[in-house]
Copies of this chain bind each other. A is one copy, B any other.
């Protein structure tokens, strides 16, 4: 009966053994209990032991919200990728989470879905949550007052995959321009001159850089830029299919296609097949960003690979250093990319 009564009490009081309870159980003040549990200041050995035992017995766990109110910060880092469904960002999410957890932080993931307005709101929302820092792939290269503002207020921010103009933040990028240039160089070397580009919203930093690489390469080879060969699409398989079809339903169609991310590459694959165009006989294809199934398709897809395994861990480390109070000037790390030649490029047919 007694046991049942206690059980019910537990249930009713719901959650929350507080420091006060522990202090009462150990017959000391809250201050002393706190000292014993967090080992600072003076506490008698015997007292400390009593407190710790009481805490154990009651199953005490500090309320992190209360701690956060006092310290001004939750042990949470916010991650704002462009789209968590993109394997690139999902992989980074995983790596960040592993790294941050080692240091007692949780990762709060909120996808901006490539919408500046949503990015702004999410950032605002996380700010009012007093998260400790941000790891962010800015949706826009230019429209980012909100990010500059946050940085100005001293919030620890690490930008990944993309930079924001004028932002004084640590950044982790890849060499988009160089990678794109190398892709187009490679296609030109293989005899292509009508090379289509399928890219995402021009607001996005990587899209700009990859476009620049495309343009520079063409220019270097004396090939005139044909705007009609540049397709724009959102970064989803579905939208990429439509955009690809638009690019290839025209007279004098391109002999090669360069897609700027893995979801688009997949969309292009599907679209080309549905149009009865075979790779690489009818169209050569190179994608930016490698993906698991690139070696499953027939032919296997040639890609410009990013060192994805290094981005998350480095970003996490940079952020942790900032959280630890590092004051140095912002650091920008730009990883090289690597062309992986498989079977999706050949010389164009003579027509």
Contacts A84-B90, A298-B298 given; does A125 touch B97 at CB 8 Å: no
List which A114-136 residues lie within 8 A (CB) of chain B: 124-130
Bound-state Cα–Cα, A85 to B269, Å:
23
Which one of B124, B155, B293 lies within 8 Å of A266 (CB-CB)? B293
Bound-state Cα–Cα, A237 to B72, Å:
42
| Chain B residues, CB < 8 A from A130 | 63-65
Bound-state Cα–Cα, A74 to B69, Å:
12
Bound-state Cα–Cα, A106 to B69, Å:
19
A129 touches B91 (CB 8 A): no
| Chain B residues, CB < 8 A from A61 | 124, 127-128
Oligomer: number of copies: 2
Which one of B63, B72, B107, B237 lies within 8 Å of A108 (CB-CB)? B107
A94 touches B65 (CB 8 A): no
List which A83-112 residues lie within 8 A (CB) of chain B: 83-85, 87, 90-91, 93-94, 97, 101, 106-111
| Chain B residues, CB < 8 A from A124 | 61
Contacts A61-B128, A68-B65, A107-B108 given; does A154 touch B14 at CB 8 Å: yes
Residue in B closest to A13 when the chains form the complex, CB atoms: B153
A153 touches B14 (CB 8 A): yes
Please indicate which of the listed interface residues A97, A128, A270, A295 has the most CB atoms of chain B within 10 Å of its own CB.
A128
Q: Mark A249-276, 1 if CB is under 8 A from B, else 0.
A: 0000000000000000010011001000
Which one of B94, B153, B154, B273 lies within 8 Å of A85 (CB-CB)? B94
What's the nearest-Cβ distance from chain B to residue A349, in Å?
A: 22
List which A277-299 residues lie within 8 A (CB) of chain B: 292-293, 295-298
| Chain B residues, CB < 8 A from A91 | 85
List which A122-165 residues lie within 8 A (CB) of chain B: 124-130, 152-155
| Chain B residues, CB < 8 A from A228 | none
A11 touches B152 (CB 8 A): yes
| Chain B residues, CB < 8 A from A90 | 84-85, 87, 90
Bound-state Cα–Cα, A298 to B299, Å:
10
Contacts A110-B97, A270-B296 given; does A129 touch B65 at CB 8 Å: yes
CB<8 Å pairs between A and B, sample of 8: A61-B127, A61-B128, A83-B94, A84-B90, A85-B94, A107-B110, A293-B296, A293-B297
Q: Other than A14-B153, A85-B91, A106-B125, give 12 A-B pairs with Cβ distance below 8 A.
A: A15-B153, A62-B128, A63-B69, A65-B69, A66-B69, A76-B108, A84-B90, A85-B90, A106-B126, A266-B292, A266-B293, A266-B296
